[in-house]
Amino acid sequence: MNEVLLELYRHKTWATLRLLEHCQGLNDEDLDSTILGTYGTVRETLHHLVRSEEGYFARLTGERLSEPLGKEAVSLGELAERIGHLGPRWERLADDAELADREFVTKDGLRVPGRVLMGQAIHHAGDHRTHVLSILGARGLQVPELDVWDYALATGHMIEVKGT
C-alpha cells in the first residue's frame, strides 16, 4: 500500500467534508457569492468539486456509486453524503499496485496513466476548496483550517510534545 497516497486521499475526504459541514451553516447570500479568480459561487464550486471527484473515480474504476450529479443544484448535505461514500473507495485505490500504470482515456479523448488521474483528483479538490475559502475570507467570514497539519492534529497523527 502507498501510505503517502493513502494519507492524501484521507486528507482530501476529511477537508472536503469539513468544508461542506462549515458551509451548511452559511446563509444563501454567502453561498451564492463569488470573487474574481475563483470557479464560481460557493455553491457552484462545491457542486463542481463533488461532481468532478465522482467523475475521476468513475474513470479510474468504471464504477459509479450513484446517479451522476447533473447541472442542477443539490443540497450541501447530499454533496457531503456523496463525498462520505467516496472516501473509503479512494483509500482502496491506494492499495491497487497496478492502477497507477494502467492507461485511461479522458472524456476529452486523451490517453493518460492512472497516476495522473489520481493526482488530479487530489489537486482538483484542494484547488476548489481554496476557492471557497477565498470567497468566504473575502466576505470577512470565519474559515475552517483544512491543511494537512490540521488533519494530522484532528486525526492524532501529530501530537504536541511537551518541553521542546
Residue 162 lies in a domain: no
Nine-digit cell string for 103: 492507461
* Residue 164, pLDDT score: 64
Burial of 96 (0-12, 13-18, 19+ CB in 10 A): middle
21 to each of 1, 84, 117, 128, how far by Cα in Å?
Answer: 30, 12, 26, 15
160 in a structural domain: no
Could you tell me if residue 64 is inside a domain?
yes
Residue 164 lies in a domain: no
Give one word for 103, left, alpha or beta, with left for phi > 0 and alpha for psi -120 to 50: beta
Q: Determine the number of helices (DSSP H) and then strands (DSSP E) in the chain.
A: 6, 2
pLDDT in tens, 54-101: 999 999 999 988 888 888 889 999 999 999 999 999 999 988 889 999
CATH number at residue 87: 1.20.120.450
Query: Is 24 contained in some domain?
Result: yes
Residue 161 included in any domain: no
Structural domain harbouring 109 = 3-155
Which pLDDT score, from 0 to 100, does residue 162 have? 87
- What does the pLDDT read at residue 70? 85
At 23-63, the pLDDT tens digits run 999 999 999 999 999 999 999 999 999 999 999 999 999 99
| Closest residue by Cα to residue 37 from 103, 108, 128 | 128
**Number of domains, the chain:** 1
